[in-house]
Amino acid sequence: MHILATKTGERAGTLTPLVTHVMQRYGASPGIPAEAVTRIMLALFQGLARQRQIDPAAVPADLFRQALQWLLIGMQTASLPEPPRDGRAAALKTEDLPVLASCAASGPSTTPSSSPTMEPPKAPAQ
Alpha-carbon torsion, ordered 95, 34, 81, 63, to 10 deg? -60
CA distance 81 to 102: 26
Residue 57 amino acid letter: A
In a structure prediction context, what are the per-residue pLDDT tens digits for the chain, which is 126 residues long? 889 899 989 999 999 999 999 999 989 988 899 999 999 999 999 999 999 999 999 999 999 999 999 999 888 876 656 656 666 555 544 454 444 444 444 444 333 333 333 333 344 454
Q: What are phi and psi of 66, to 5 degrees?
A: -65, -40
Domain regions of the chain by residue span: 7-77, 93-121
Do 52 and 34 touch, CB atoms closer than 8 A?
no
- Predicted TM-score (pTM) of this structure: 0.60
